[in-house]
């Protein structure tokens, strides 16, 4: 399975970079978040690839859901897809945008790929091991290298959202005496925790499941965890929520090895 996800993520990344280099067409959703032709093109590539390789596994994809298309997933494994996570970064020509594909089983992310095409890196997990590789000319170069979370020291480094930081996040950092923090876009935050670059990512603003699933899968495989504010693992496949829309996440804290 992982090889098919990698190929699809690389193909989507190639399409995204073609539009990145020529300039995207930007429109805005009802929530004022931007969406581009790169989002739609990458999602079409991924959906076609997944339908061919895994015709029996339903897919929840960001732009399809926005258009009102969400298949039945109760009791089934399913994919979560964000074809271009960090669209604001993409529009602003920052390199912190990613392609995210994750497999969910029993509410948990068990396999996933995060590809950062502008940075030339790809992260992946399957079978409980996390890996990273370099990408050149839309191909994986060399061998996959295993990655793992680092043990948190006396001066933890926190990662925060570049565009969606919040007062609650700053309060959390102050209460836990975390003075070192860095703003990073997209699902890269999970991957940087997974490879031992940073220690904690508190997220006290809104995210959707497709934003987090692939990165969360990689982080968990690398020895980390993502906990909702009630203390339980962040769950996936949330529908009919009384206080929020389908697939919306609660606030959470991701962290490497304690």
Contacts of 51-56 spanning 24+ positions with Cβ under 8 A: 53/1, 53/4, 53/8, 54/1, 54/4, 54/79
Length of the chain in terms of residues written: 258
Q: How far apart are CA 108 and CA 104, in angstroms?
A: 5
**Residue 32, pLDDT above cutoff 80:** no
Q: How far apart are CA 225 and CA 110, in angstroms?
A: 13
Angle at 54 between CA 238 and CA 63, to 5 degrees: 50
The per-residue pLDDT of the chain, averaged, comes to 94
Closest CA to 93 of 20, 25, 37, 163: 20
**pLDDT over 90 at 84, yes or no:** yes
Asked whether the predicted pLDDT for residue 168 surpasses 70, the reply is yes
Residue 61 CB neighbours (<10 A): 24
Q: What is the DSSP string of 8-25?
A: HHHHHHHHHHHHHHH---
The mean per-residue pLDDT over the stretch 112-134 comes to 96
pLDDT band with cut points at 50, 70 and 90 for residue 126: confident
pLDDT of residue 34 exceeding 90 = no
Give me the helices (H) in 78-208, please: 87-91, 167-175, 188-194
Q: How many helices and strands, by DSSP H and E, does the chain display?
A: 7, 14
More confident of the two residues 193 and 166: 193
Name the percent of the chain lying above pLDDT 90.
Answer: 86
- DSSP label at residue 149: P
Phi, psi of 20 (to 5 degrees): -55, -40
Helix axes 37-53, 2-22, angle to 10 degrees: 160
> What pLDDT band is residue 48 in, cutting at 50, 70 and 90?
very high
Q: 5 or 88: which carries more pLDDT confidence?
A: 5
Q: What is the pLDDT of residue 257?
A: 79
Contacts of 148 (CB under 8 A, 6+ apart): 130, 194, 195, 196, 222, 223, 257
Q: Work out the pLDDT band at 19, boundaries 50, 70, 90.
A: very high
> Stretch 17-39: mean pLDDT, rounded?
90
Mean pLDDT of 74-83: 95
Q: Average pLDDT, stretch 206-232?
A: 96
Q: Sketch out the chain's domains with CATH numbers.
A: 2-146 (3.30.540.10), 157-255 (3.40.190.80)
Residue-wise pLDDT for 62-73, tens only, equals 999 999 999 999
Q: What pLDDT does residue 258 have?
A: 57
* Mean pLDDT, residues 161-173 taken together: 87
- When pLDDT is averaged across residues 123-131 and rounded to a whole number, the result is 94
Residues 6+ apart with CB under 8 A from 132: 121, 122, 123, 124, 144, 145, 147, 191, 195
pLDDT of the residue at 22: 92
């Amino acid at each position: 399975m992982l090889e098919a996800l990698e190929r699809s993520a690389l193909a989507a990344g190639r399409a995204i970079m073609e539009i990145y280099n020529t300039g995207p067409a930007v429109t805005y959703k009802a929530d004022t978040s931007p969406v581009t032709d790169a989002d739609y093109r990458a999602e079409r590539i991924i959906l076609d690839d997944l339908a061919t390789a895994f015709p029996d596994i339903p897919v929840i994809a960001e732009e399809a859901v926005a258009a009102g298309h969400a298949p039945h997933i109760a009791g089934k494994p399913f994919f979560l897809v964000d074809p271009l996570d960090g669209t604001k970064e993409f529009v602003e020509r920052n390199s912190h945008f990613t392609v995210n594909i994750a497999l969910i089983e029993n509410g948990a992310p068990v396999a996933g790929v995060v590809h950062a095409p502008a940075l030339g890196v790809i992260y992946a997990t399957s079978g409980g091991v996390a890996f990273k590789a370099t990408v050149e000319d839309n191909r994986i170069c060399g061998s996959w290298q295993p990655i793992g979370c680092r043990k948190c020291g006396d001066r933890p480094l926190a990662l925060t959202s570049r565009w969606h930081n919040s007062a609650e996040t700053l309060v959390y950092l102050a209460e836990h005496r975390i003075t070192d923090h860095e703003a990073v876009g997209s699902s890269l935050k999970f991957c940087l925790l997974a490879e031992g670059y940073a220690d904690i990512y508190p997220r006290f603003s809104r995210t959707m499941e497709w934003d987090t699933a692939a990165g969360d899968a990689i982080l968990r495989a690398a020895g980390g965890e993502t906990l909702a504010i009630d203390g339980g693992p962040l769950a996936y496949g949330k529908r009919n929520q009384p206080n929020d829309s389908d697939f919306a996440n609660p606030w959470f804290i991701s962290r490497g090895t304690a």
